[in-house]
Amino acid sequence: MLLVFGLPIMIESSAYKLFQKAHTMNTTKLFDELLSGLPDGTVQQVGIGLNWTGVTVKTNNLFRCGLASTLQTQHEHSGEPTIPWAGHFNGMTASIIASLVRDDNPVRVSLGLAALNALVTLPETSPVEMNAEDVIARFGKGKKVALIGHFPFVERLRNQVGELVILEQNPKPGDFPAESAPDVLPTADFVAITAMTLLNGTFDSILSLCDKKAVVMVLGPSTPLSPGMFQFGVDIIAGSIIEKIEPVMNMVCSGGNFRQVHKAGVRLVTYFRSGLTT
């Protein structure tokens, strides 16, 4: 009886202790805003796949699912588990898992963001069925565009905007290294930031470099679709809504890439800040 009914309590207690002891790596201030506004919810399923992490929660009698890229971590034979409560997530308070975005372990950060994305309250406005490439092309016509992250559509995009500068941690031919951000971002009219910056803790520093008049977009399936993003200085958010939870979670747990996860039941949507001329 103690094992059945006491386990969730013991797990949540150990989770709090873990947060208290954690050496915080991810200092993104945006998470203060997003975590403070999360509704109550309980975890139903967790899947940490090769490419994507998914968390399903029950909140307000609805089942919702959130995604985040799975950050890789070096495997060590230390005996210490990466996920201390692995196998015992069901029934846990979802906001506790979401708080892992503050952790120092990359895998736990991914888990936290997936839970956060499952819990966030969507903006009141209806999403626009418009992919990120088209949004950037529209706002970047005749303008200088800085794109943080080398997305598959960059070559098509070059002829649709005035000037395109790609900032990338692992630069491909034609890209600028991430260290060039202080020189590039202040002069850009439109800045598109990959949601990976939320996972690796660089979002705040990137946003601080953007010109106040620039239109700022955060894109990628890991993007929190929360109105809190707009309050923090973001103008456009382009992310994912999971419409078919079971097939998507099966694909996540099977190591699927995003093309496979997308086909399993993900809808890509874009939200614009109120008052932004589209």
The angle formed by the CA atoms of residues 209, 71 and 228, to the nearest 5 degrees, is 50
How many Cα neighbours within 13 Å face the side chain of 107?
Answer: 14
What's the mean pLDDT in 10-26? 40
Integer Rg of the chain from CA: 19
What's the mean pLDDT in 175-201? 94
Tell me which of 40 and 80 has the higher pLDDT. 40
How far is residue 202's CA from residue 156's CA, in Å, rounded to a whole number?
Answer: 27
pLDDT for 160 beyond 90: yes
Q: Given this chain, do its domains 2-119 and 132-240+266-272 carry the same CATH topology?
A: no
Residue 152 pLDDT: 86
CATH topology of domain 132-240+266-272: Rossmann fold (3.40.50)
Percent of the chain's residues with pLDDT above 70: 87
How far is residue 233's CA from residue 187's CA, in Å, rounded to a whole number?
Answer: 17
Residue 164 pLDDT: 95
How far is residue 220's CA from residue 238's CA, in Å, rounded to a whole number?
Answer: 6
How far is residue 30's CA from residue 23's CA, in Å, rounded to a whole number?
Answer: 18
Span 2-119 CATH architecture: 2-Layer Sandwich (3.30)
Mean pLDDT of the chain: 87
How far is residue 189's CA from residue 215's CA, in Å, rounded to a whole number?
Answer: 6
Q: What is the pLDDT of residues 68-115, one digit of tens each?
A: 999 976 666 666 788 878 888 899 999 999 999 999 889 999 999 999
pLDDT band at 63 (very low <50, low <70, confident <90, very high): very high
Residue 79 pLDDT: 66
pLDDT band at 3 (very low <50, low <70, confident <90, very high): very low
Sign of CA dihedral 206, 208, 210, 214: positive
Cβ(168)–Cβ(149) under 8 Å? yes
Residue 208 pLDDT: 93
Q: What is the pLDDT of residues 194-252, one digit of tens each?
A: 999 999 889 999 999 999 999 999 999 999 999 999 988 899 999 999 999 999 999 99
pLDDT band at 265 (very low <50, low <70, confident <90, very high): very high
Strand partners, 272: 236
Q: What are the residue ranges spanned by the domains of the chain?
A: 2-119, 132-240+266-272
**Taking the model in full, what pTM does it have?**
0.87
Residue 67 pLDDT: 98
